[in-house]
Amino acid sequence: MNKLSIEEKIAAAGLKLSQGKKEILEILEKNAPISVPEILSSLKTKKISLNKTSIYRALSTLIKKKLVSEIDLGEGKKRYEASSKEDHHHHFLCNTCQHIYHIRLDEMLVSKIEKNIESKNKFSIENHKIEFYGKCGDCG
Which spans of this chain sit near Zn ion (rule: CB under 5 A)? 81, 94, 96-97, 102, 136, 138-139
Residue 16 Cβ vs Zn ion, minimum distance, rounded to whole Å? 26
| Shortest reach from residue 119's CB to Zn ion, in Å | 19
CB 73 → Zn ion: shortest distance, Å? Answer: 11
Nearest to Zn ion of 77, 102 (CB atom): 102
The whole-angstrom separation of Cα 132 and Cα 95 is 10
- Chain mean position to CA 5: 18
SS3 (DSSP) at 71: strand
Q: How far is the CB of 47 from Zn ion (least distance, A)?
A: 27
Q: Which of 129, 13, 135 minimizes the C-alpha distance to 71?
A: 129
* Long-range pairs for 24-28: beta carbons < 8 A, 24 or more residues apart: 24/50, 24/55, 24/58, 24/59, 24/62, 24/68, 25/62, 25/67, 25/68, 25/82, 28/68, 28/80, 28/81, 28/82
Nearer to Zn ion, 10 or 73 (CB): 73
Beta carbon of residue 49, minimum distance to Zn ion (angstroms, whole number) = 28
Which residue's CB is nearer to Zn ion, number 50 or number 81? 81
CA distance 43 to 37: 10
**Closer Cβ to Zn ion, 44 or 99, answer by number:** 99
Q: Which is nearer to Zn ion, 51 or 96 (CB)?
A: 96
Question: Which residue type, as a one-letter code, is found at position 96?
Answer: T
